Amino acid sequence: MRPGSFLLSLLLSILCGSVQSFAYVMPVFASDSVQLTKAADLTEAIQFQSQAQALERRLEGLSTRPKIGLALGGGGARGAAHVGVLKVLEREGIKFDCVVGTSIGSVVGGFYCLGVKPEEMEEPVVSARVMRQFMTVPIAFQVMALPFFYISRFFGVKSYDGLYGGKAFKEHLMAGMSTRDVEIEELKIPFAAVTFNLLDGETYLIKKGHLARAMTASCAVPVLRKPIPIDDYLMSDGGLVCNLPVKQCREMGADIVIAVNIDEPFEKQDAEKFRPFGSVGRRAIAWKLASIDKPQGMMADILIHPDTSGISLISTKRADARRALLAGEKAAEEALPAIRALLKKVGGNTD
């Protein structure tokens, strides 16, 4: 059985129980910057579009240049596509006034706001090093070791649910920073990471505090990664409910939003595609992501959607990472005429 298929069966096991493992427990860290948000639904998106048919009308009354925001969606290993998009936008001199990221989008977005060039991000993502740090041990081995982790519970050691603790991933993120204690408030561009609070079922933006921990919380995929305690919250992957944070970018003050959706295009499939084990589960996840992405994408002024078809969310293959990177570059190149026209109209952010 392939690790990806096994993970899908684990996700489905949430319905009847949970999987526990003993690993590093992320300490609670103080933050006064957790802001409640809501993902847009279709009704809200349609209403927004009806009010925004004329861009000039939406920007009436602005005394300064419109603020341009960048929304980077979640998508695991497909995150290399974000780097490809940023390479093209950076080459064109397109600048952003704020960035909001979900899951892997928070990682790429956080480093971008820190001042890391897309070319510097290319090698870590194309080599699949980021995903290997995300899952330090192959899933199959981690699952086989679960009986040994259960022993620790007899001695009173109880960690949160999840196969991986997150320490290695956080350390890997911090290793790429100029200082290990980067605060979000210190970033060159205003930034927020989208997270989901398991305790109250609400979505939150992390806008201040320790950058690497905010990224780690936004990437805490249920079952795969342990949730991250922040104050009175228990944060998990924001992609559960808000995978493409366009509305959240507007809440950060953006008048114009360019969004990057790296999920697989949801297209009609032949019935034979659903005979292999795990195929139905993968299709269900793809449908869910497409459903929550749609209204958010409708609120973007420019939506860039690289073709990531066939790239698993948890792939550690270099070929997949390279393909995602090139897909990002291609999609951004195709979107350039519309982006140039938009920025010319609103007088915004190019060198």
Q: Active site residue: 97, 161, 237, 293, which one?
A: 237
Residue 97 predicted with pLDDT over 60: yes
pLDDT the model gives residue 143: 46
Residues 182 and 214: beta-carbon distance below 8 Å? no
Using alpha carbons, list the distances in angstroms from residue 9 to 72, 113, 252: 28, 36, 37
Matching residue, tokens 């048919």: 53
Set 21, 31, 103, 106: catalytic member: 103
* 267 CB neighbour count, 10 Å cutoff: 8
pLDDT of 347 strictly over 80? no
Strand (E) or helix (H) holding 191: strand 191-197
pLDDT at residue number 125: 81
pLDDT for 62 equals 65
Higher pLDDT, 206 or 141: 206
- Of the candidates 327, 333, 294, which has an alpha carbon nearest to the alpha carbon of residue 310? 327
> Rounded to an integer, what distance in angstroms lies between the CA atom of residue 165 and that of residue 136?
10
Question: Which of 196, 166, 184 has the alpha carbon at shortest distance from 111?
Answer: 184
Is the pLDDT reported for residue 110 higher than 60? yes
Cα Rg for the chain, rounded, in angstroms?
20
With residue 34 as reference, give the H or E element that holds it.
strand 34-37
Q: Is 103 a catalytic residue?
A: yes
User: Is position 307 annotated as part of the catalytic site?
Assistant: no
Alpha-carbon distance of 209 to 198, in angstroms, equals 20
Mean pLDDT for the chain overall: 80
Cα–Cα distance measured from residue 290 to residue 85, given in angstroms and rounded to the nearest whole number: 20
Which element (helix H / strand E) includes 205?
A: strand 202-206
Q: Residue 241 to residues 206, 279, 288, 292: CA-CA distances in angstroms?
A: 15, 22, 9, 7
pLDDT at 345 over 60: yes
Give 155's pLDDT tier (boundaries 50, 70, 90): low
Q: What is the pLDDT of residues 36-79, one digit of tens each?
A: 999 999 999 988 887 765 566 666 656 678 999 999 999 988 99
CA quadruple 265, 268, 270, 276: dihedral sign:
positive
Tokens of residue 303, six digits: 């939506």
pLDDT at 2: 47
